[in-house]
Amino acid sequence: MKKTLARWLDSDVGYSFRTSPVAIGAALIALACVFCAVFAGWVSPHNPFDLATLELGDARLPPAWSAEGSSKYLLGTDDQGRDILSAVIYGARISLIVGVVSVLLSITVGVLFGLLAGFLGGWLDSFLMRVCDVMLSFPPILVALLIAGVGRALFPGAHESLAFGVLIISISLTGWVQYARTVRGSTLVERNKEYVQAARVTGVAPLRIMLRHVLPNVMGPVMVLATIQVATAIITEATLSFLGVGVPPTSPSLGTLISIGNQYLFSGEWWITVFPGLMLVLIALSVNLLGDWLRDALNPRLR
């Protein structure tokens, strides 16, 4: 493990990371957010989903530094008496899970279709690219709303249990297109190189050539795109939850928390919306900065 880390730090990408304060700061912020989200049960001071511990008398308390605040609730409470700090930590976990899983699903589908289209070509390439063109004509939010509406119509009593799946499928359904187009373009270049031609001459099966030789050489742009798409997926999830088609209020994500606090924003209880919004901005900004750094680090023209 130590040798692997040392080799990475000595590589061109590792050197670029060590000499970039922005990348280091973004990585620390992103790791801190992920750590708090993964270990929410130990990090958060309260369990915001334990109904037995909620006290309506503590509802809408301001942050602890305010005159009417309580030291028990550092960032205040929402309309149900839930600790905002704990709710933000738990909400970040839900948002990160939806964002990461939807991106992984998009990568799986997009890389597969992109490899097939770029390596095999012909009618399959034309068909898959036309499918991509059609998918790009639909806004992701509209597709998600349609899927959520169909899901509610087909399974009216199972909305809460299917909310995660609906969100992930909605985000992935349009997200895979960018990976497919990116991988196809890289595959068109790689398939004409000498190492691929040599593998064909020696009788290596096309599937083995795609997976063993071409795939590792087209994953650089995919990694950059995936990093940026995680932030996009998290923001999309927050948007859908804000519109009421995301996860249920009983296990809210950051978008749901922002939606809950929106009705109290102009009545003075600003903290119910502001702190979940700040966490959302922090996660998206740190991941986007990492994506920008990785794009520059993997670009040989900028080395």
Query: pLDDT tens digits for 161-190?
Result: 677 888 888 889 888 999 999 999 999 999
Q: pTM of the prediction?
A: 0.88
Give me the number of domains the chain comprises.
1
Please provide residue 4's backbone torsions phi and psi, each rounded to the nearest 5 degrees: -65, -45
Q: State which amino acid sits at residue 137.
A: S
Q: Is position 214 within any domain? A: yes
Q: Is position 289 within any domain? A: yes
Provide the β-strand partners of residue 77: 83
Cα dihedral 95, 98, 104, 107 in deg (nearest 10)? -90
Interval 182-229: pLDDT, tens: 999 999 999 888 888 888 888 888 889 898 889 989 998 899 899 989
Q: Is position 64 within any domain? A: no
Q: Is position 168 within any domain? A: yes
Interval 119-152: pLDDT, tens: 998 899 999 999 999 988 888 788 878 887 787 7
The DSSP line for 187-232 is HHHHTTSHHHHHHHHTT--HHHIIIIIIHHHSHHHHHHHHHHHHHH
Domain of residue 263 covers 6-44+84-302
Q: Is position 71 within any domain? A: no
- Rounded-to-integer distance, Cα 23 and Cα 147, Å: 37
- Rounded-to-integer distance, Cα 166 and Cα 150, Å: 10
pLDDT score, position 9: 61
Q: Is position 52 within any domain? A: no
184 burial level (CB within 10 Å; 0-12, 13-18, 19+): buried
Interval 9-53: pLDDT, tens: 667 777 788 888 899 999 999 999 999 988 988 998 888 877 777
pLDDT score, position 129: 92
Interval 280-293: pLDDT, tens: 999 999 999 998 88
- Rounded-to-integer distance, Cα 142 and Cα 256, Å: 18
pLDDT score, position 82: 87
CATH assignment at residue 235: 1.10.3720.10
Task: Reply yes or no on whether the pLDDT at 301 is more than 70.
Answer: no
Residue in the structure block whose two tokens are 């309580």:
70
pLDDT score, position 2: 60
